[in-house]
Structure 1
């Protein structure tokens, strides 16, 4: 029996639009050259392992005028789908740490170039509420099929 959490249901309703399945592999993405000044520049690297359904992200935890403090964020790969053109679409959510009020939801897809869109969702009781939607971020991604 599968139990669907409210956050997972909200994510799927918000971000899923395709159907299919991708072959197991890995994909690693870094922001493209034009992303240096983007509002979503807190994400520095995304690594998705399709087989284990895990996502690891290198992120900027805090920033001052002179320094940045880097950190790691783990996410769960909720869906890997394939578009009609054969390009994969990944949907994942950050695994919130204790005391975190916002869950980050992401969709990584290829539309000419790799793009990442994200949304912040807070939960009031068990009811999800959209807190923020980030503008799309262009990424340079490399895929490797594990077979």
Structure 2
């Protein structure tokens, strides 16, 4: 079978397009926590690798009897691959108008999926670390359907 240069270029273009569409999504929810630990404030993370966006369902406020849910959008800043082939996602959520805190996140797999978050506030243009949350275990599912 012989391939003409035009046909070969077309097939290469199709393979390149298929590779670009292979970027998928990953959706994560916190694993069931123990009865003594309060539920985490992030209830769901959805990362779209192609558009480099992260959408999170979060608890905006909590009282003894109720929780007010909300949404937070973040930008996927970096996506590296570990030696085991699993991705490491780094993303941030810029504060809403009037808010003072930027949230920085790192989602990675170390046996199980873990999320580390840090809160940074800015006084003028000077950043100050407000707090680092201990890592939380998440249950993540990948979809390569893009």
Which TM-score applies when normalising by structure 2?
A: 0.80
1:102 aligns with 2:101: yes
Tell me the secondary structure at the aligned position of residue 33 of structure 2.
Answer: helix
Structure number with larger C-alpha Rg: 2
Distance change >3 Å, CA 126–CA 39, structure 1 → 2: farther
Q: Please name the residue that 1:121 is paired with.
A: 120
Partner of 2:13: none
Q: Residues 94, 38 of structure 1: CA spacing in aligned structure 2 closer, same or farther, 3 A cutoff? A: farther
Give 1:146 deviation, angstroms.
Answer: 3.2
Moved more, 37-46 or 116-125: 37-46
Structure 1: which 5+ runs fail to align?
Answer: 1-22
Q: Secondary structure at the match of 1:100?
A: coil
Q: TM-score, normalised by structure 1?
A: 0.80
CA 1:83 to 1:135, structure 2 compared with 1: closer, same or farther past 3 Å? same
Pick 1 or 2: higher relative contact order, CA cutoff 8 A, min separation 6. 1
Structure 1 moving runs of 4+ over 3 Å:
35-40
- Structure 2 gaps, min length 5: 1-21
